[in-house]
Structure 1
Amino acid sequence: MKIPEKITGYSVYLDGSTYLGVADVELPSLEALTETIKGAGIAGEIDSPTIGHYGSMSCTLNWRTIDPAAIKLSAPKSHAIDFRAAQQTLDSATGNYSTTPTKVSVRATPKSLSLGKFEVGATTDTSNEFEVTYLKVIVDGKVWIEIDKFNSICIIDGVDYLAAERAALGK
């Protein structure tokens, strides 16, 4: 069995090729939009998810200093940002380690830039927060997640959960 263990390294890129530097990232969370359903035939209430529709997705980059990349990413426009990682995986049958390429791509618009603080001998803790409208997760060459809010695409593990909705709307 292959056991994914940890990220051994990663890089941040803008527009697919411009290296942005050293930053920690808080990746988006997926939280389905829900509506409470109750009534005849239902014993109580159900928070029913709206299939393929998600609440606000945000992403945060944390920098050690006031980095020019943080300033560049604060421009009020959509940015294509890639997070490319090497995941260490253990094959439990053989005891051998391997590296699995992992890539998370987002299209994101800046919501905030915190310049942080000045303190002698310390990081500034500068950070950018973004609203994410597009998310794609690729692990070992396979697309596992692709969410495109503006084009009504929600692919999870190869299934496009909004294909029927697009067809019904003539998209």
Structure 2
Amino acid sequence: MTQILRRFTAFVEGYDTRLEIEEITPPLVRDLAEEVKSGGMLAPMDAPLGLQKLEASMKLNSRQKALMKQAGITPGKFVSITFRVVSISEIDGSQQNEVLVIKGRLNVDGNSWSANSASTTDYKIGSINYYQHRVDGALLYEIDIVNCICIVDGVDQWADLRAGLGL
């Protein structure tokens, strides 16, 4: 109960969703692994080969043209989304601020429409090629898919691999 999420918003290409956003699902950073069992091994184990595809989503309680027009854009173009999250401790009242920056492509699911009710719109964020997550200004993740950069807690996990490739 030390840090309870209190408020959040998303800025999509500069558009502030704070009065409409209901839910966000940030990207999950997970190993892309393949099971390996060589002849001399006692049991198989997963060998990490990189990262799984990054995906995120958000849900708004309105139909927002400013966001809907960001879906279906030309190949090679990406949408910039910044999530800002504030958590406050129930123990000591301290505040924790998080900022997530994502560059990817929006896909819209208008869900069902009902008269006299707030219809929600789901946005899936796919083809993510850049993800940065900071907690109180400290870098937790910076993942740049195209440039083979994966920084976790300030340490570039793939620096040696890039150097070996001459990148």
Question: TM-score scaled by structure 1?
Answer: 0.85
- Superposed displacement of residue 165, structure 1: 0.6
- Superposed displacement of residue 127, structure 1: 1.2
Structure 1 stretches (4+) deviating beyond 4 angstroms?
none
- Superposed displacement of residue 69, structure 1: 3.1
Question: TM-score scaled by structure 2?
Answer: 0.87
Deviation string, structure 1 residues 64-117 (Cα, Å, up to 9, x no partner): 121123313314230111001111124xxxx5202111111111112x311122
Number of residue pairs matched by the alignment: 161
Take 1:61 and 1:70, find their aligned partners in 2: how far apart are those partners? 11
Q: 5+ residue gaps in structure 2? A: none
Take 1:151 and 1:104, find their aligned partners in 2: how far apart are those partners? 19
User: What RMSD, in angstroms, separates the aligned Cα atoms of the two structures?
Assistant: 1.7
Partner residue, 1:149: 145
Checking the alignment, whether the CA contact within 8 Å between 2:3 and 2:96 is kept in structure 1 is: no
User: Residues 125 and 140 of structure 1: is their aligned pair in 2 closer, same or farther, counting only changes over 3 Å?
Assistant: same
Higher relative strand content: 1
User: Residues 139 and 4 of structure 1: is their aligned pair in 2 closer, same or farther, counting only changes over 3 Å?
Assistant: farther
Partner residue, 1:97: 93
Take 2:2 and 2:151, find their aligned partners in 1: how far apart are those partners? 23
The correspondence of residues 17-28 of structure 1 with structure 2, limited to 5 A, is 17-21=14-18, 22-23=20-21, 24-28=23-27
Deviation string, structure 1 residues 8-36 (Cα, Å, up to 9, x no partner): 11121134x44234222111112211121
The correspondence of residues 13-162 of structure 1 with structure 2, limited to 5 A, is 13-15=11-13, 17-21=14-18, 22-23=20-21, 24-50=23-49, 53-76=50-73, 77-90=77-90, 95-110=91-106, 112-131=107-126, 132-162=128-158
Checking the alignment, whether the CA contact within 8 Å between 1:20 and 1:69 is kept in structure 2 is: no
Give the alignment partner of residue 9 of structure 1, picking from 7, 13, 38: 7
- Superposed displacement of residue 123, structure 1: 2.7
